[in-house]
Amino acid sequence: MNSINASVTENVTPFLGAPEDGPVTRAKKMRTRIIYILCVVGGLLPWLLGAAPALQAASLGLLFPGAGFFAVGGWALVLVPLVLALYGISLVAWFGSGMISAPIVIWLGSAALAAALAGDATWSAGPPLALGLLVVYRVISARRQGKAHKALLKRREERLQFLPEAIREVGLRATEPPPADERELSPVELQVLRYNLDLALQPVERFEGFDTIEQFQTSALRYQLNNVGYSLSSAQAIYTPNFQGYNNLAQRNVIEKMLTKKVWGYWRWERLWGHFSTRFDPVGRDNIMLTGFFGLQVCLYMAETGDMRYAEPGSLTFKWGKHEFAHDIHSMIGSIDENYSRSEFCLFPCEPGWVYTPCNFMGMMALIAYDRLFGTALASKHMARFMRSLGDEFTLADGDLIALRSEVTGGAIPFPFGNESQPLFLNAFAPERARQAWALARDTYVKEKDGKVEISGLEKGVDFGRYRKSPLGHLMSLLGSASEMGDQPVVTEVLRLLNELGSPQVKGGVLKYDCTSTSGTSLVRGVILRKGDWRKTVTQGAEACTRKGPILTEASYPAVLVAKAFSHGEDLQLVLYPGQVEGEQTVRIERLQPGVQYSLQGAGAPASFVADAQGQAQLRIHLAGRTAVSIQPAL
């Protein structure tokens, strides 16, 4: 069934950035230029005034990293490319781990070394040569930027022509999901979901099956744990709102794993070399890569289960030896609120000094979920400024998002967060922008001919769990967004390609693709979502009627797989599968009406039973393939 409504048939205005930088970015860039000009002038003055050679070498080093060696001359010139290479590496360390000290040390350290190597006289050709190279570099950079800006404006004009219709088509093409009381996980979807369940249900101190490379960027354990939590919360909100057995335990386990030093300990080092501080409470200044992602994960668990334990003081305590940082969901969300208020961009940094838009999208979703839980209005407090900054400071003139901008200099650097990834992040709070991103992604990567869908761009895919090229990285992004946007033809083709290229294997009833756990845990959510499911999970949750009806609270894993658990208020509709062998299994039902007789249909169980004084009942149910069970008060 296609969704055709006013929101997708009326005139559409694309969200395109201004041709020039936003006001905050301009101010930061101007400040950076002024400081650099002062450095250049200060760097040249000792040479012009005939100061001591050591001072000339040190000050010339302010022009660019390694420039001071031009004042020394001779063999010292071979140090220039070495320093520039080290400086490039230091910049990667800066945006990769917040190590702002690295480029500072390399730049100023090279100037100090040049001063130490200076002889009795300055190489006369050195300072003019260094200045000349700087001018040539700046001229070449300006020309490249000019060409890039012209190409950007050309794309802007092209997109202004095709985007309105393309965005409308996104809405017209979308396939609506079945009604809430008909949602049910398929056997294959259960196999996929079990991958995350198996990871989550191991003891908290164990991380078997999780790939561990580093804890600073996208392969970090925290993102894998977040992905597991999001998939389980989505499954609960959409398919099994009245199941609170091992799914609850699995979600609590990954929440508790997030509190271990192995996961959050990176922040001690980022605070040291990024903020120059030995105080390393992970919930405070910056670090939305933890508070945003984790805050949302905890809020979704609380919202779907009704378990409010993480609202208690100290319930989210981060420990490192004798150091303990006691928090709860209130202080975690409070830190997001405070950082949004403090930041000139509204959006605030992950690593010290670097603002990532996708991390801030998670932060906004965390506020939305928290507001739903506690009746606050934090999301609305920041939303207008957040969206204005997103448009003015983080959107290019052609509509593409800037994924990474420096809070210090205002400069932006390329970071892989393309239009194909954005709809899943945006739809919960900016559905119009999500539709535009999907329209752009579809235009770039999807071709339809004679009713057949073809996907391109597989060679651009990266598995960010191992930082290697992999078509599964591209397919993972497309799957999550296509599912959330209800683009079923693309979903079908992506799943076909996953089965063709992903070397799927089913072992012990668990389906796993040939990829890292970073990608594998994320793929699960894309497989089980349908149109608007993630938005619903974040902003609404399960239907209100499910919160009053009976719940399935005990079922053995993996012997009993729950594909559906839904209540209209008094009944309980279950669809169960045997996870190992067919036969009888014991389950527990709670939140029944005490002393009331219930009829039971399906599964070869007794035709009726009476709830005990606590509103509970223990039942023996025979599982054979798809087993539908209906429980409702007897007439």
Q: Is the pLDDT of residue 106 over 50?
A: yes
pLDDT band, residue 216 (cuts 50/70/90): confident
Q: Is the pLDDT of residue 5 over 80?
A: no
Token pair 């039942």 is found at 619
Report the share of the chain in percent with pLDDT over 70.
98
Q: Is the pLDDT of residue 371 over 60?
A: yes
pLDDT band, residue 6 (cuts 50/70/90): very low
The pLDDT of residue 606 is: 67
Please provide the DSSP assignment of 456-514 as one string.
Answer: --GGG-EETTTTEE-HHHHHHHHHHHHHHHT-HHHHHHHHHHHHHHS--EEETTEEE-S
Q: Which residues pair with 463 in a beta bridge?
A: 468
Which range has the worst mean pLDDT, 5-9, 368-372, 401-405?
Answer: 5-9
β-strand pairing of 617-623 with 583-590:
antiparallel
| CA proximity to 111, closest of 56, 160, 162 | 56
Separation of alpha carbons 224 and 357, rounded Å: 19
The pLDDT of residue 218 is: 85
The pLDDT of residue 10 is: 58
Q: Is the pLDDT of residue 205 over 80?
A: yes
> Which residues are CB-neighbours of 581 under 8 A, at least 6 positions away?
none
The pLDDT of residue 519 is: 86
Report the share of the chain in percent with pLDDT over 90.
86
Q: How far is CA 228 from CA 73, 190, 205, 300, 471, in A?
A: 57, 14, 16, 12, 22
Q: Is the pLDDT of residue 98 over 90?
A: no
Q: Which amino acid is at 221?
A: L
β-strand pairing of 572-578 with 627-633:
antiparallel
- Tens digits of residue pLDDT in 585-622: 999 999 999 999 999 998 766 689 999 999 999 999 99
The pLDDT of residue 7 is: 47
The pLDDT of residue 3 is: 39
Separation of alpha carbons 140 and 132, rounded Å: 12
**Average pLDDT for 428-441:** 96
The pLDDT of residue 217 is: 84
Separation of alpha carbons 542 and 537, rounded Å: 7
pLDDT band, residue 144 (cuts 50/70/90): very high
CB 302, CB 372: distance < 8 Å = no
What integer best gives the mean pLDDT of the chain? 93
SS3 state at 601: strand
Cβ neighbour number for residue 208 with a 10 Å cutoff? 8
| CA proximity to 175, closest of 6, 4, 8, 7 | 4
Q: How far is CA 478 from CA 234, 471, 483, in A?
A: 18, 11, 8
| Residues found in the chain | 635
Chain centre distance of CA 618: 41
Separation of alpha carbons 176 and 180, rounded Å: 11
Tokens at residue 621, please?
């149910």
The pLDDT of residue 58 is: 96
Please provide the DSSP assignment of 194-233 as one string.
Answer: HHHHHHHTS-TT--TT---S-SSSTT-HHHHHHHHHHHHH
Q: Is the pLDDT of residue 349 over 60?
A: yes
Tokens at residue 600, please?
């039971």
CB 315, CB 244: distance < 8 Å = no
Tokens at residue 429, please?
């709070």
The pLDDT of residue 459 is: 87
pLDDT band, residue 11 (cuts 50/70/90): low
SS3 state at 631: strand
- Tens digits of residue pLDDT in 333-344: 999 999 999 999
Cβ neighbour number for residue 334 with a 10 Å cutoff? 17
- Tens digits of residue pLDDT in 294-324: 999 999 999 999 999 999 999 999 999 999 9
- Tens digits of residue pLDDT in 478-526: 999 999 999 999 999 999 999 999 999 999 999 999 888 888 899 999 9
pLDDT band, residue 375 (cuts 50/70/90): very high
Q: Which domains does the chain have, with CATH numbers?
A: 23-148 (no CATH), 174-539 (1.50.10.20), 545-633 (2.60.40)
Rounded to a whole number, what is the largest CA-CA distance in the chain? Answer: 105
Q: At what angle do helices 431-445 and 126-173 cross, to 10 degrees?
A: 100
Q: Is the pLDDT of residue 380 over 80?
A: yes
- Tens digits of residue pLDDT in 258-300: 999 999 999 999 999 999 999 999 999 999 999 999 999 999 9
The pLDDT of residue 145 is: 93
Q: Is the pLDDT of residue 1 over 90?
A: no
**Average pLDDT for 220-249:** 96
